[in-house]
């Protein structure tokens, strides 16, 4: 039986191991222990893990800027897919965003992430067009 609970920084080692094993997931310096600690502190109660037998088998990082929600690193260990774990993680975070007055959420998915794009399309998320994402280091 799997359980969804709030993510803590104590989960970091298991999370980073899972993230490194997920094809199509892009990791960067933003995923360091220090940066994830800051993210979780800034976005309390919005990110979750799914555990089974004390092993993290799924994750979702979620936060908001006061206007829109943003989701990152929705992952499920391939051995546990097709059990609606990803759906449950997303729904849990979306409910928390709604409670905080956030009525829209975005996720960035790498174009060639076939599994990820398939998941978001199949769960009712709308692929957006008409704008570009620009990024710059600070």
Which residue range forms the structural domain that includes residue 90? 2-122
**Per the domain annotation, does 30 fall within a domain?**
yes
Structural domain count, the chain: 1
Q: What is the pTM of this model?
A: 0.93
Q: 93: domain CATH number?
A: 3.40.630.30
What does the pLDDT look like over 50-79, one tens digit per residue?
Answer: 999 999 999 999 999 999 999 999 999 999
Q: Has residue 129 been placed in a domain?
A: no
Vertex 75, ends 116 and 37: CA angle to 5°? 125
pLDDT in tens, 85-125: 999 999 999 999 999 999 999 999 988 889 999 999 999 99
> Distance (Å, rounded) from C-alpha 93 to C-alpha 13?
22
């Amino acid at each position: 039986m799997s359980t969804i609970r709030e993510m803590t920084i104590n989960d970091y080692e298991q999370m980073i191991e899972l993230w490194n094993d997920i094809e199509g997931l892009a990791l960067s310096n933003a995923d360091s222990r220090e940066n994830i600690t800051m993210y979780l502190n800034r976005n309390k109660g919005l990110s979750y893990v799914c555990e089974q037998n004390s092993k993290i088998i799924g994750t979702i990082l979620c936060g908001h800027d006061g206007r829109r929600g943003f989701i990152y690193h929705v992952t499920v260990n391939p051995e546990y897919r097709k059990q609606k774990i990803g759906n449950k993680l997303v729904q849990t975070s979306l409910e928390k965003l709604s409670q905080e007055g956030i009525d829209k959420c975005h996720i960035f998915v790498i174009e060639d992430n076939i599994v990820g794009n398939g998941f978001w399309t199949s769960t009712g998320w709308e692929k957006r067009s008409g704008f570009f994402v620009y990024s710059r280091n600070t």
